Structure 1
Amino acid sequence: MTFSLSRISGAWQMAGALLGISISALGALSASAADNPKPAKELFGAVNAPSTGIPTPYGFYAKGCIEGAQALPIDGPNWQVMRLSRNRNWGHPALLSTIQKLSRDGAKDGWPGLLIGDISQPRGGPMKNGHASHQIGLDADIWLTPMPNRRLSADEREKMPFTSMLEPNKFLTINDKWTPAHARIIMRAASYPEIQRIFVNPAIKKKLCETWTGDRNMLGKVRPIYGHDAHFHIRLACPAGSANCKEQASTPTGDDCGKNLAWWFTKEPWAAPKKDPNAPPPKPPKPVTLADLPKACTAVLASPAATR
């Protein structure tokens, strides 16, 4: 079967109209997706503004992007965004609404306000540093440092150190900075049905298991993982109607304070992998490229910047 140039051009024009981009951009998209070996983290990390379009997550939390992301204002009545130079306060409006709700509800729990860490880049996608996830605008880091009762300067937001909840050089021992208010703000977030899971250090999960006297059914959402000792990480489920958003498996029912948690307090999670002395040297990992992401991310990356 053969096609005339005019028919091909018409098809590209229609595709461009649907995507909101030009024929030349579509051609560049095709070439970049198929041939551009540049790491996707460099492509997405170089974009300073969101794409046009209805807010839509594509792919999985650690392999995707977001169209039409919106910015969380850097200041709110009960929150302040940190590390402004990173430009990572972008996300799906469902997540931004949840952050604002948590900032208000936290006042009921004796939490003076939220310091917000990374959400996503303007178009999501892989980041040059800091995270494997946070790619589709549905993840956010919230510091375990309460918000001060004043507005921090831009310089303070860049330089304020993280406050770990762990004893120095002890990965699994809570220090005296931990308070009941820390437990309340985490469990307040866990009570929201739209939040699918919360990541914390295993020692924090253990502390919650030992001390939480409220509804324990939501403790199953609180997942232990290394790191996450100076912040907790909230993750929304895919919003309704997000057909191209890949759901994560559900969390266990109940508090999940048994064997899954106990595993983190054995040597196994921290042991160095065994090496075969006769094995050839491992090849360096292949960087994720645009072609490795959902196809829609190619269009998201090349889309004109939204004007707000």
Structure 2
Amino acid sequence: MERESGNNGQRASETDTSASKPLAGRVAVVTGATRGGGRGVAVMLGEAGATVYVTGRSVKGRPATEGRTETIEETAALVDERGGRGIAVRTDHTEEEEVKALFERIGREQDGRLDILVNGVWGGDALTEWDKPFWEHSLDNGLLMQRRAVHSHMITSRYAAPLMVARRQGLIIEVTDGCDYRYRGTLYYSLAKISTIHLAEAMAADLKPFGVTALAITPGFLRSEEVLDHFGVAESNWRDAVAKDEHFAQSETPYYVGKAVAALAADPNVSAKAGKALMSGDLAEEYGFTDVDGSRPNWNTYYAKTFV
């Protein structure tokens, strides 16, 4: 909003825009943005002013996940509503040619500019068999999980990185579960989530000489659409589920990790975090943001007090 007229007013308006839209002019890709954390990240990048390529496999009339109706077009529309520009591109990130075509398109449409890549593809919930030792877990499901949640990230980064390296700037974020290398209860799930942490660490080393930063981020107890359905609640009455699981009181919306990603992308000193694995709650305390309901949950702190 302009506060003054003339040149001073113009400068004030530009300052306001910079403050409210710190990512204006930036180009981002958020993979796995159909729902959950991916959608939350895409929307918050849009709110910060970015142009966001929203990718995934579920499009209108062609859902890719049984029982889920969310689409990348819906996510792109939410990006638009928040003041960004959402561009939905159906992409199977396990298919190299589709990924290559995506980044060739971005190169053409954005004059070679790519500022942010968020590798959020997961697709492993239906494949995970909890409470089974690895030799009883379906090998096919376990290997497919690595294909979806690790190989897809590798393929995507392979074709995104050259755009960033050419301009000697950019940020690649790996979305994972947890900040450390502890065992996560079942081998294939654990392998997928830990692998993405190491991908960030390894890419950071390779990209450092070119001014590009890579890091990993994890939400806490994510209140995604699927989790809300699991507990039989909606976002409007989610606290009713605390009676079923007391830890659910520490849950967070998908927009919380989205705000964390937007804060990182706007931080001129983000390179200091290269190679690290970070949590939404810790970043909320560092950057001073809250979840959309005004809360500031920190699963790291809660976990340390409750389980360790």
- Measured against the shorter chain, the TM-score band is under 0.3
* TM-score using structure 2 length: 0.22
TM-score of the superposed pair, with normalisation by structure 1: 0.22
Structure with the bigger RCO (C-alpha within 8 Å, sep 6+) is 1
The structure whose residues are more often helix, as a share, is 2
Larger Rg: 1
